[in-house]
Amino acid sequence: MSTKETENLCGLKRENFQTNINGKNTDLYILKNRKGFEVAITNYGGAVVAIMVPDKNGKVANVIQGHDNIQEVINSPEPFLSTLIGRYGNRIDKGQFTLNGKEYQLAINNGPNTLHGGPTGYHARVWDARKMGPRSLALHYVSPYGEEGFSGELRITVEYTFTDENELVLEYLACTNKKTVMNLTHHGFFSLAGIANPTPTIDNLICEINADFYIPIDETSIPTGEIRLVKNTPFDFRKPKTVGQDIDSSDEQIKNGAGYDHCFVLNKKEEGELSYAARIEEPNSGRTMEVYTTEPGVQVYTDNWADGYKGQNGATFPRRSAICFECQHFPDSPNKTYFPSVILNPGEQYKQKTIYKFGVKK
């Protein structure tokens, strides 16, 4: 094989991602489609460290934020940087909920609340990896009973596929041996301009979100319980507008999130259908990304807390240099019984599918 064939577009070296953590090996896996574009993933937290796709001139760049070695992934200033999230994505009020008459207390890691499954959630676990051909990777993890305070042993498989249409497809399957709550997602930090030093702001991204309603939050980012119309608010993305247009408005909800950090209630004809959720377009590069999901909601986060920390290949990640579309059930659902259920019972199978499709504006 010639050197050219063994070189990766992302320039990441496999050996820089190889270590052993508590007897489990970490590694780097590169999915390449027939067009020659690629996605790079490590089995530490299921972190996607590169998505190499072209702009309108055919110039290929990495459009997701990540690190270039395993130690920086593990010690990232942003622990959830482009990782898998569980057992419960988003926040649970004071880390408490009741299930089957029993009260559960989870670790607190975000103000007074639990965020993204706690400090040692699925983002900080080594998953068992199996490469299933050049375009597909399956990650498997058994989350033991009592891990981070959750009930039930959960067995999870997440399959990543990078199609010839430049779609990153994530399919999730899970089952439990005891009644539990769960909300899985992937926390990709997307920078369609391409990561750089510094990575450009997302203010000029043109964004559309297929949602008539969103979920307001209190000052600790917990849902108030209301489901509110986006109409006449900064959260109205039903027609495309720039992310920056209303991101610093005086709206109380924008202040509570320090920008956008809210769950949008996706318009669905039926529960669980795979349908269009959102689209962004980066005007300079012409790159686009469309999001499709079976989930009822998408948490849109505009990277409001980054401080310019270092990423891969000399890139830096300033505040609001990425946007996240975390397809999921609603935050704090275990305490909001009228939200779509996040309970999984023994004998049931959890299924979810989310697609991030990359393209170029015609």
- Judging by beta carbons within 10 Å of its beta carbon (0-12, 13-18, 19+), is residue 164 exposed, middle or buried? exposed
Looking at residues 277-301, what average pLDDT do you find?
98
Residue 157 has pLDDT above 50, yes or no: yes
The model's confidence at residue 6, banded by pLDDT at 50, 70 and 90, is low
pLDDT at 85 over 90: yes
Q: Which amino acid makes up residue 350? A: Y
Q: From CA 295, how far away is CA 191, in angstroms rounded?
A: 23
| Terminal CA-CA length for the chain | 36
Distance in angstroms (rounded) separating the CA atoms of residues 244 and 248: 8
Domain ranges of the chain: 3-186
- Long-range Cβ contact pairs of 335-342 (< 8 A, separation 24 or more): 335/92, 335/93, 335/96, 335/97, 336/223, 336/225, 339/223, 340/271, 340/296, 342/88, 342/181, 342/182, 342/183
Interval 296-322: pLDDT, tens: 999 999 999 999 999 999 999 999 999
Query: Quick one: which of 96, 87, 175 has its CA closest to 334?
Result: 96
**Residue 5 pLDDT > 50, yes or no?**
no
Does pLDDT of 69 surpass 50?
yes
Residue 362: pLDDT band by 50, 70, 90 thresholds?
A: confident
The pTM (predicted TM-score) of the whole model is: 0.97
For 167, the 3-state DSSP assignment is strand
Determine the Cα–Cα distance for residues 286 and 305; give it in Å rounded to an integer.
Answer: 27
Q: What is the DSSP letter of 125?
A: S
**CATH code linked to domain 3-186:** 2.70.98.10
Closest listed residue to residue 45, CA positions, set 85, 5, 99: 85
Confidence of residue 1 (pLDDT cuts 50, 70, 90): very low
Residue 7 is predicted with a pLDDT of 80
Residues labelled as active-site residues? 187, 326
